[in-house]
Amino acid sequence: MQAYGSALLIAVLLLAGSVSACTYENDGAPLDVTTSTLQVLSRVPAPADRDVPIDQTITLRFSAPVDAHLIDSTDLRLFTGVLEIPGTLHVDHLERTLSFSPVENLRANLQHQVVLRRGIRAHDGSSLPAVQVYDFMTGSRVTPDKSSQPSVSDEAAQSLFNLHCGRCHGGRAPPAGVDLTSLDAAQRTMVGVTSDAGALRVVPGDHARSYLILKIEALFAFIGLPMPPDRALLSPEELRLVADWIDGQGGKSPLDN
């Protein structure tokens, strides 16, 4: 039943996913933009789930990484009846997820409603075509033995930078002023420092808004060369390590501040 439902959903999404032209307003002047459709691939909790733990984080996985710069607190909201539950939003660029963490435990044994705003945008320009609303029901317990956030050891980050980056990013005049020969140097030349492209290289605690991740991946033409530019790209595990290192810089910075 569940499998059939999601197969159907995927088929519908694939049909809807073909490129469509749309027009939207920009300072009064209509702008013709061709965008494709952003798809929600999975939802936790799933629609109509019951007995959801009261400390549950709501997580939606998209077909493309959403642009964390464009996300605000009204993009994903949680209600029970008419009451809105306060919480914070977090984008994970590599997982392609947007999640909502309620500030307090949810109330037990109640129907909850997730509302996802139309127009949520991904880095590739695709956007969510319609409002999405779905319900789930809480149980009365917290998640059994919730594992804590993985933290990255400084040694792991240091040896990744040494292995893949240090041979260029060192010396008296490292490329773009980025020195990756030590973690101190990495922090000094990247954390809170504006890139040549104008965005912050590392936003402390928030890899999804850090230019460094986009630069390493070089997903878009305007970003230029990937890093490292001359050898194999970083593996997904190595990218994750860089993202976790960024997320560990100066603690969490929620998006809706």
Residues in contact with ligand HEC by CB under 6 A are 164-165, 167-169, 175-176, 178, 180, 195-197, 201, 212, 215-216, 224-225, 227-230, 234
Cβ nearer to ligand HEC, comparing 128 with 234: 234
Greatest pairwise CA separation for the chain in angstroms: 63
Cβ nearer to ligand HEC, comparing 77 with 201: 201
How far apart are CB 120 and ligand HEC at their closest, in Å?
A: 27
Cβ nearer to ligand HEC, comparing 98 with 243: 243
How far apart are CB 27 and ligand HEC at their closest, in Å?
A: 28
CA dihedral 234, 247, 72, 13 (to 10 degrees): 40
Cβ nearer to ligand HEC, comparing 191 with 212: 212
- The SS3 assignment for 114 reads strand
**Alpha-carbon span 177 to 238, nearest angstrom:** 23
How far apart are CB 123 and ligand HEC at their closest, in Å?
A: 16
**Alpha-carbon span 17 to 56, nearest angstrom:** 30
How far apart are CB 186 and ligand HEC at their closest, in Å?
A: 8
Please name the residues in contact with 72: beta carbons below 8 A apart, sequence gap of 6 or more: 255, 256
Q: Rounded to an integer, what is the distance from CA 169 to the centroid of its chain?
A: 27
How far apart are CB 227 and ligand HEC at their closest, in Å?
A: 3
How far apart are CB 236 and ligand HEC at their closest, in Å?
A: 14
From residue 51, give the alpha-carbon distance in Å to each of 41, 61, 85, 99, 250.
Answer: 22, 21, 18, 19, 35
Cβ nearer to ligand HEC, comparing 24 with 220: 220
Cis link prior to 236 (omega < 30° from 0)? no
Strand order in 76-80's β-sheet?
83-85, 76-80, 111-116, 132-137
Cβ nearer to ligand HEC, comparing 63 with 158: 158
The DSSP secondary-structure symbol of 200 reads: B
